[in-house]
Structure 1
Amino acid sequence: MIKIIQLEYFIAVVDNNSFTKAADFLHISQPSLTATIKKMEERLGYDLFYRTTKQIQITEKGIQFYHHAIKLVQNYKQTMEKMYDLNLSDTPKIKIALLESTSQWMSQVLARHHAEYEDQRYMISEVHDMNEVTDSLLNFNHHVAISNEEIKHEHITSIPLYKESYVLLTPKDEFPRKQSMSIENLPLIVPNKGSQVRKHLDDYCTRIGIHPNIIVESDRFETALNYVHRGMGYAVLPRVYYQSYNARDLDAFEIKPKMIRALYINYLKKRQHSDNVKSIIQYSKEYWDI
């Protein structure tokens, strides 16, 4: 059986391309390191390195083993960090998957939550792909996830929070004020393929029979707004995000015909959630007056 520390020794040799330098880095003797690698090779049944009097070279199998070793060590360290977190506190981190557009109101929810649960810590991630959101809940990677589509899965509870329209964000005073605008033929700045917002936009354009003139695709709304400021095009974003600091100096127009989405808060049914987690769900519902 090969141990994690042996994998770390092997990685150090590869990274330093030298047994001597690796031994210095690991603060062990070179003969001890050499013996460890030799034992690994005997157990594996193949050589990890070609050795000459002047240099070492990693073998093809050694390269493949190196990639696996990196992943194993990283997974081990991540697992130990999570175990350490459990020992630090009786209240482990609450892990929440958000959409970029929901971070503003969720920060208010968490501020209220933290005022009541002062020892609570949080880990916030942005997850925009619906499949990733679902998998993260099913694999216990997140306690709670926000999505802009209902998750229809027998093991997941998906609660609607609110509905909002999409808006077209333009530079200040570029267009005369009016109630709504069509996005047809306009140069657009939109999220990348795979995001929930992009899926909504593509479905919308297909439904009303237009071909969007996409100039820039971006992972983040904040980046999209930078291109709007530069005059490269107009961003299609959720209305709630327009209330954020980054968008307040732009104009927002309702899109004609309307483009609307619903936001959901999701959690795994079979997971035994603490009162701390349950209260975040409740506070989110209360924020939107549900």
Structure 2
Amino acid sequence: MKILQLEYFIAVVNHNSFTKAAQALHISQPSLTTTIKKMEHDLGYQLLQRSTKEITITEKGIQFYNHALYLVQQYHQTIEQMYDLKLSQTPKIKMSIIESTAYWVSDVIRQHHQQHPDQHYQITEILNPEILAQKLTSFELHLGISNDPIRHEDVVSIPLYEEDYVLLAPDDAFEQQTPISIKGLPIILPNRPYQVRKHIDDYFTHLEEPPNIVMEVERFGTAANFVQQGMGYAVIPHVYYQSLQQQHLQLSALSIKPTIKRHIYINFARNRQYSKHVRNLVATCQKYWATDQDGKAHNMIYQ
């Protein structure tokens, strides 16, 4: 069975119509119908049930569809990677970040690109450390930013900086600007199982008092919008607040007592040979934060 046949079947399911799928694929409807019927004959079971009014997918068709999606995705990823190798001597650097680091990472990438103007980049967001470890060790990513070290024997985690969490509040919410206790305050928190949520849950467990959660959201930007609307207060990383200031929102970041801290790490696979450009990007991240790990990091990444 060919990839093209799988793509035809996926198109029929997605469009729920042979006519619309044929138009999207730029082929004739009879040709598409014949292809699907041949697939069903070769497989020995029915993928789709057809009537004069609609198309429905069978249970076996659903399982086949899921496998087909995976195979087609893997095929195109492989082709893209092969194309990258042919395109130039500097394949794109694939790096994952977390939302709160987007502002400074963009500055680092700008600096790196000034040194390497022929370099291309692909930036994604990965919040789950287990998924990040899997993508680093399967060589789908070169680098990944995390807010905890990656606990994997084949991943190296280098600390970049430490930061406090702060309380995001409207400018006029509190008279005093001294550290604020967040006990009992209506809090907007990230959804589980994000690492930031784990940090905050652990904090309240240590305080032996449950948080007063009024809302759970996916992103810090969403939380900031709800704080702006007076829906509650958000606990966010201090570095992320610095990026919010660029938006000129009427929001303040107040110190929390007792403090909540976290470390940000840059991660890479231990057993991968990295190009000079990738190594330089790691060094640029370290230089940006003026860490004292520069010599050690270079020794680790060159191994």
Alignment TM-score > 0.5, same fold = yes
RMSD of aligned residue pairs (Cα, Å): 2.5
Distance in structure 1 (CA, Å) of the matches to 2:58 and 2:86: 41
Distance in structure 2 (CA, Å) of the matches to 1:11 and 1:105: 40
Q: Which runs of 5+ in 1 are unaligned?
A: none
Q: CA deviation at 1:112?
A: 0.8
Task: Provide the residue aligned with 1:110 in structure 2.
Answer: 109
Q: Is the aligned partner of 1:288 residue 2:289?
A: yes
Query: 1:254 corresponds to which letter in structure 2?
Result: S
Task: Provide the residue aligned with 2:270 in structure 1.
Answer: 269
Task: Provide the residue aligned with 2:118 in structure 1.
Answer: 119
Q: Which runs of 5+ in 2 are unaligned?
A: 292-303
Q: CA deviation at 1:208?
A: 1.7
User: In the alignment, is the contact (CA less than 8 A) between 1:169 and 1:251 conserved in 2?
Assistant: yes
C-alpha change, 1:25 and 1:220, in structure 2 (3 Å) is: closer
C-alpha change, 1:251 and 1:58, in structure 2 (3 Å) is: closer
C-alpha change, 1:96 and 1:50, in structure 2 (3 Å) is: closer
Task: Provide the residue aligned with 1:200 in structure 2.
Answer: 199
Distance in structure 2 (CA, Å) of the matches to 1:181 and 1:30: 66
C-alpha change, 1:155 and 1:256, in structure 2 (3 Å) is: same
C-alpha change, 1:36 and 1:204, in structure 2 (3 Å) is: same
Q: CA deviation at 1:24?
A: 5.8
User: In the alignment, is the contact (CA less than 8 A) between 1:225 and 1:247 conserved in 2?
Assistant: no
Percentage identity across paired residues of the two chains: 55
Task: Provide the residue aligned with 2:81 in structure 1.
Answer: 82
Distance in structure 1 (CA, Å) of the matches to 2:65 and 2:101: 40
Query: 1:192 corresponds to which letter in structure 2?
Result: N
Distance in structure 1 (CA, Å) of the matches to 2:119 and 2:158: 24
Give aligned pairs, total: 289
Task: Provide the residue aligned with 2:236 in structure 1.
Answer: 237
Task: Provide the residue aligned with 1:164 in structure 2.
Answer: 163
DSSP 3-state at the match of 1:190: strand
Q: TM-score, normalised by structure 1?
A: 0.89
Query: 2:116 corresponds to which letter in structure 1?
Result: Y
Which deviates further from its counterpart, 28-37 or 218-227?
28-37
User: In the alignment, is the contact (CA less than 8 A) between 1:167 and 1:254 conserved in 2?
Assistant: yes
C-alpha change, 1:218 and 1:63, in structure 2 (3 Å) is: closer
Task: Provide the residue aligned with 2:261 in structure 1.
Answer: 260
DSSP 3-state at the match of 1:163: strand
TM-superposition CA deviations, 1:219-275 (whole Å, max 9, x none): 111110001110111110111111112476312211101111111111111011111
Distance in structure 2 (CA, Å) of the matches to 1:98 and 1:260: 19
Q: CA deviation at 1:122?
A: 1.0
Task: Provide the residue aligned with 2:42 in structure 1.
Answer: 43
Q: CA deviation at 1:139?
A: 2.1
Distance in structure 2 (CA, Å) of the matches to 1:31 and 1:224: 51
Which deviates further from its counterpart, 168-177 or 53-62?
53-62
TM-superposition CA deviations, 1:64-107 (whole Å, max 9, x none): 32333233223322332332233222211111111211111111
Distance in structure 1 (CA, Å) of the matches to 2:108 and 2:66: 42
Higher gyration radius (CA):
1
